[in-house]
Structure 1
Amino acid sequence: MRLIPPFRFPGAPSPDTTPPGPARDTRKRVLWLSCIAHALHDGYTDMIYALLPVWQSDFGLSYGALAVLRGIYAGTMAGLQLPAGRLAQWLGSRATLALGTFFAALGYALAGLSGGLVGLCIALALSGSGSSTQHPLASGAVSRSYGKNARGPLGIYNFAGDLGKSALPAAISLMVTVMPWRHALWIVSIIGFVVAAVLAVAFPAISRHTLPETDVARAPGTAPSASKPASQRAAPQSDRVGFTVLLTIGILDTGVRMGLLTFLPFLMKEKGASGALIGTALALVFIGGAAGKFACGWLGARMGVIGTVLATESGTAAAILAVLVCPLPLAIVLLPFLGMMLNGTSSVLYGTVPELTSSDRTERAFAVFYTGTIGAGAIAPVIYGVLGDRIGVHGATIATAATALAILPLALRLRGALADTAP
């Protein structure tokens, strides 16, 4: 009798055939603790959007100045991605990730204690510095743990980040309606201190003794094994070109997402939304983004990376313009779809990074990729914020839609690089 294989969601990791034991347990622990760290840090990053209208009222800031606040956090987070990787070589990934989480939480605790705008800026810079450790170290750990089967686990890891983006902005929006925003920041900082302690105690120290030899990246400075094929010892030129195109798409895509999210609270406020409804609107976008991870896994299985990017960027531009012109009730309904399109591209870009780099450069490639994309997240809101001061929120929002459309020709250029690396 022919057996029907069990159904598996697109993008889900393939069944783990590793025999029970330390290697399998370590993989699971790396994945789930990385997911917890990702959810917390991404939530810390995006709950700033829910606080921008509050800070505007308290400090009387322009759109450009508000974008600078967001840029301080994202800029320090982006600029310290590569140094975080070097620090991890000295302290180990577990200690570096735990310390980074501690400082991210400490920054928000100090923001709650700040008596003015300067203190708030310093606190955001400290929190962003702590968050710089999470993306390269956690994603690199997941990629090394699962080896060639890492695309599915990386999808789960990215999905966890969207859960954090959904939960913390909604929570902070609700809390600021019933308590001072400073007290709300102290509460979320306590969560971060708890997660830092858990990571310090439980995050595995990945080594050749805990994972199969074939799944562990070669340590920096050691000679490549003679048994490894050339494609694993060094990334060919076509891969480097493809990685550059991939990074450029990621930078523009992040710029669209961060630029739009900077203006979305004010678009909703202009349409008549209350403070609580603005938080709900952001949560709907982030929930849609989480759902987009699964939707784009389905699309990616049928349309490929390029087809998915073309579909999501076109959908992003259309959804931005639709939300811009629709009345508040219809705009609220459209927000989950907008979130799906906004995050759809990133879901396939992150999983493509290991395909365009050699196995011994995966962690550095993630650090470079996150430096570029998070750096774009720091700079783009400032650019769009200044543009918003000059031509208005509506004009700057239309500019984000135009940027999404500019990604389409780059996606077609990436097609050739992915074809060159196909087995």
Structure 2
Amino acid sequence: MTNDPQDFAKADAARNPLPSDLAPQRRNLAGACLAHLLHDGYTDQLYVLLPIWQGEYGLSYAGLAAVRALYSVTMGGLQVPADKIAARFSPRIALAAATGVSAAGLLLAALPIGFAGLCAGLILAGIGSSVQHPRASLLVANSYGAKSRGPLGVYNFAGDLGKAVFPAAVALSTPFLAWRPVVGLTAVVGLIVAGALLALLPDCRTEASATEDKAAGGGGRGFGLLVAIGAFDTATRMGYLLFLPFLLGVRDGGAPTVALGLALVFAGGAFGKALCGWLGERFGVVWSVIVTEAATTLLIVTTLIAPLWLGLVLLPILGVVLNGTSSVLYGTVPELAHKGEVGRAFAWFYTGVIGSGGLAPILYGAIADGWGRTVGVIAAACTAAAVIPMVIALRPFLKSGAE
């Protein structure tokens, strides 16, 4: 036996390899999850504010969807260029800076400078949020390599936690505070998170193949079809959530009921990410998506005609299938991406789904303005049903065992 400290250190490292091997992975995953939680929370807290803005600024349903699209379409449309610019910096700097920009946008929106200030703030917040999805997803994928499907599911789940926490907090606060101070407080939270990301994430570049800097992204027809499926799935979700606060409100549901309804949907959605991920592994991508989209169609129509108490009971179940499909699709992105272009593929995927999520509600809102809210909700349900033949067409592009 030796008393050499170096020998003891080597023996300890052999017995406990976790700090050197897994600590950076866990820090990267934790930082990516924290960023996803905040930015998805920012995105979905807007649903609680829509009825308030409608009353304050006299907006139609289509106009209301257009205001929300200032954030979501900016965020979705800038995924690819923002990812290319952010790739020049470490994930630590890119994610922290982007989070600070989003928080600054919400601070601008909260200032009492009128409708123009609100619109400008939402655009700025969308610019900041455009960095998070592609950079954080690639950070997790590169940290875990071939074993990234599980960690990517955890990352996806963290986003749904933000969707549950932020809208509920805003809905419960607005009866006691004006919306501007509430939005300002969420902006302060964002600045705190930006500082936390600087402290948490390692200061290193994300490893990437040189092919990720190519102008084109994606993996051919299969990947394009996957993006289209994701776009339709997201359009359904965003369209239904546009109307949900109003569906609850007309049934004698006040602000607490709206907050409860949104929390039930988002909590169900968080659970759905884990459940549908298991369904994807157990039954394959195609059958899992068929089941979730068929259930989404049925439950949307049911909540449209059900009494308030039954609708509240069904909302968590609807949340499971409404949000859970995305978990199945999201894990398929690396499979259908060109080798070495995973980061770019994530950027293109999010361009499609977020852009759809911003533009589709404008169409649904216009339908509701012209033919009534019920027809608008039914249109969202029909969009979910349209995914089923699309995912059947995806089958030939999937690896054996993923069908």
TM-score, normalisation: structure 2: 0.92
Does the CA contact (< 8 Å) of 2:103 and 2:187 recur in 1? yes
Distance 2:223 2:289 in 1: 15
Shift of 1:65: 0.8
1:284 to 264, 270, 275: 264
Question: Which letter does structure 1 place at the counterpart of 2:172?
Answer: L
Shift of 1:79: 1.3
Matches within 5 A, 1:135-154: 135-154=133-152
Q: Are 1:56 and 2:54 an aligned pair?
A: yes
Distance 2:16 2:63 in 1: 52
| Residue deviations 1:175-226 (CA, integer Å, cap 9, x gap) | 1011111111111111100011111233224458xxxxxxx5424589xxxx
Distance 2:116 2:271 in 1: 38
2:209 to 218, 223, 227: 218
Distance 1:312 1:143 in 2: 26
Shift of 1:356: 0.9
Distance 1:134 1:36 in 2: 10
Distance 1:163 1:358 in 2: 31
1:257 to 237, 240, 260: 237
Q: Are 1:380 and 2:355 an aligned pair?
A: no
Distance 2:183 2:98 in 1: 18
Question: Which letter does structure 2 place at the counterpart of 1:148?
Answer: A
Distance 1:318 1:147 in 2: 38
1:339 alignment partner in structure 2: 319
Shift of 1:24: 1.4
Matches within 5 A, 1:91-130: 91-130=89-128
| Residue deviations 1:256-294 (CA, integer Å, cap 9, x gap) | 000110111111111111012111111110000001012
TM-score, normalisation: structure 1: 0.88
Does the CA contact (< 8 Å) of 2:91 and 2:205 recur in 1? no
Distance 1:393 1:181 in 2: 25
Q: Which runs of 5+ in 2 are unaligned?
A: 1-14
1:242 alignment partner in structure 2: 222
Matches within 5 A, 1:175-190: 175-190=173-188
Q: Which runs of 5+ in 1 are unaligned?
A: 1-16, 209-215, 223-233
Q: Are 1:323 and 2:321 an aligned pair?
A: no
1:82 to 80, 83, 92: 80
Does the CA contact (< 8 Å) of 2:284 and 2:401 recur in 1? no
SS at match of 1:360: coil
| Residue deviations 1:223-261 (CA, integer Å, cap 9, x gap) | xxxxxxxxxxx99x9x52211111110000000000110
| Residue deviations 1:91-136 (CA, integer Å, cap 9, x gap) | 3322121111001111111111132111111111111111111100
2:247 to 246, 264, 267: 267
Shift of 1:344: 1.4
Compared with structure 1, are the counterparts of its residues 199 and 420 closer, same or farther at alpha carbon in structure 2 (3 Å cutoff)?
Answer: same
Distance 2:63 2:113 in 1: 18
Question: Which letter does structure 2 place at the counterpart of 1:389?
Answer: D
C-alpha RMSD of the superposition: 2.2
Does the CA contact (< 8 Å) of 2:289 and 2:325 recur in 1? yes
Matches within 5 A, 1:357-368: 357-368=337-348
Does the CA contact (< 8 Å) of 1:263 and 1:393 recur in 2? yes
Between the two proteins, the alignment pairs up a number of residues equal to: 388
| Residue deviations 1:283-309 (CA, integer Å, cap 9, x gap) | 110000001012112212221111110
2:164 alignment partner in structure 1: 166
1:155 alignment partner in structure 2: 153
Worse overlay, 23-32 or 394-403: 23-32
Question: Which letter does structure 1 place at the counterpart of 2:189?
Answer: I
